[in-house]
Chains A and B, each alone.
Chain A
């Protein structure tokens, strides 16, 4: 079946603008995760959903970052008032359940000018 998909694949925005990143998990996967990959910080966890609730938001770097998941499926990561340090690849993963194998999407490359 289809893997995890993310859109857009690339996004260029100006500092101060808001952006929305979308993730479509593998059908039937109840757990969904957002990670960020940047040159200086490596791969870091942002937030995790089980169903529509987010038991762990500990990785969100500031209150400019938020995420939601609806219908136990699609998730949106929103970054408000983007800053240059937000430039990174944002990766989404899903798994059948917690502590199961995580499968990653291709990522969204965000560049904030």
Chain B
């Protein structure tokens, strides 16, 4: 089956810093989503981005489908950005295959 790898596994930032999270996948996909899992465990949709670039406030994402990777950019990080960021791909008929996540900690 398809493999989804995220890097880095852990990241510690000072408030105000920028960061880039990466997601590599091993096969063509129909869909790619980025999620933020907050400290209470809720998975929050960030982007639905099978290709191209999208921006939402301080966050933006780019997926290069032909090269099988996606990037999530966080600018001017805030403590509320802390949590785990997941990339998930829809490879076959709607089921999402998740990466192992990047655990982000933003220090004040």
Q: Which residues does A use to contact B, with CB under 8 Å?
A: 31, 33, 35, 42-45, 48, 50, 55-56, 58-59, 89, 91, 93, 95, 98-104, 106-107, 109
Contacts and interface: CB of A to CB of B under 8 A. Distances in A.
A95 B96 CA distance: 12
A93 to B, nearest CB: 8
Given A102-B33, A102-B45, 20 more contacts: A31-B94, A33-B95, A42-B98, A42-B101, A43-B98, A48-B93, A48-B94, A50-B94, A56-B93, A59-B95, A91-B43, A98-B94, A99-B31, A99-B90, A100-B48, A101-B48, A102-B96, A104-B43, A107-B42, A109-B41
Task: Determine chain B's interface SS by DSSP, over half rule.
Answer: strand
Interface string B67-108: 000000000000000000010101011111110110000000
A65 to B, nearest CB: 15
Contact of B41 (A33, A35, A89, A99): A89
Contact of A95 (B88, B92, B94, B98): B94
